[in-house]
Amino acid sequence: AQSVAQPEDQVNVAEGNPLTVKCTYSVSGNPYLFWYVQYPNRGLQFLLKYITGDNLVKGSYGFEAEFNKSQTSFHLKKPSALVSDSALYFCAVRDMNFGNEKLTFGTGTRLTIIP
């Protein structure tokens, strides 16, 4: 069965510093990987995805993520954090084995940017 792990419930970063939110996955086939952000009382917003090609993908609001097949990871990064980046971040995966395309989410990481 496919799964996603976000090992850190909470990440605190000073404004202006680089940030990393970690994600690892487990699938039997090839993964499609996604990052979403959730602000208070809002639905999830799509940030970026990896399907194939370049291991470094760029998304909305200056975020990027690096796919590492050997480490089965897809960490979210940003070079310089903003206070407005404070939110709940979710990693998600699809297993591309035919017949198992369901979208599975991790438990989330709360990112707090300290002014």
Options 17-25, 32-40, 61-69, 74-82: segment touching other proteins (CB under 8 A): 32-40
Comparing CB distances to other proteins, the nearer of 5 and 15 is: 5
Q: Between residues 19 and 91, which has the closer beta carbon with respect to other proteins?
A: 91
Residue 93's Cβ-count burial label (10 Å; 0-12, 13-18, 19+) is buried
Q: Interface with other proteins by CB under 8 A: which range of 20-28, 62-70, 78-86, 103-111?
A: 103-111
Question: Rounded to whole angstroms, how far apart are CA atoms 84 and 74?
Answer: 22
Looking at beta carbons only, is 41 or 70 nearer to other proteins? 41
Residues 6+ apart with CB under 8 A from 74: 23, 24, 25, 31, 33, 35, 50, 65, 66, 67, 68, 91, 93
For residue 94, how far is the Cα from the chain centroid?
13
**Shortest CB 7 distance to other proteins, Å:** 13
Chain residues in the site for other proteins (CB under 8 A): 6, 32, 34, 36, 41-46, 49, 51, 90, 94, 96, 101-108
